[in-house]
Amino acid sequence: MTTNTKKTSPYGSTKFSTIDEYQASFPVEIQKILQQIREVIKQTVPQATETISYNMPCFKQYKNLVYYAANKNHIGFYPTPSPLIAFKDELDQFKTSKGAIQFPLDKPLPKTLIKKIVKFRANEELQKMVRSNPKAKDHIHYHKDGLIWAKGKMLGDQMHGYWEWFRKDGVIMRSGYFDNGKQIGEWITYDKDGTVFKRTIMKF
Q: What is the pLDDT of residues 10-67, one digit of tens each?
A: 445 689 999 999 999 999 999 999 999 999 999 999 889 999 999 999 999 878 999 9
Residue type, 136: A
Q: Do residues 37 and 68 make contact, with C-beta atoms less than 8 angstroms apart?
A: yes
Bridge partners (DSSP) of residue 90 are none
Which DSSP state fits 146?
S
CB atoms near residue 162 (< 10 Å): 17
Residues 43 and 122 in one domain: yes
pLDDT tens per residue, range 67-81: 999 999 999 999 999
Query: What separation in angstroms does the CA of 68 have from each of 52, 158, 168?
Result: 10, 37, 46
**Does residue 29 lie in a domain region?**
yes
- In this predicted structure, what is the pLDDT of residue 79? 96
Residues 76 and 148 in one domain: no
How many domains in the chain?
Answer: 2
Q: Which residue has the higher pLDDT, 108 or 127?
A: 108
Q: Which residues form the domain of 153?
A: 137-201
CA neighbor of 113 nearest in space, from 91, 136, 138, 139: 91
Domain limit, last residue, from 98, 131, 164: 131
Angle at the Cα of 141 from the Cα atoms of 136 and 143, rounded to 5 degrees: 175
Residues 114 and 180 in one domain: no
**Does residue 193 lie in a domain region?**
yes
Section 157-167 average pLDDT: 92
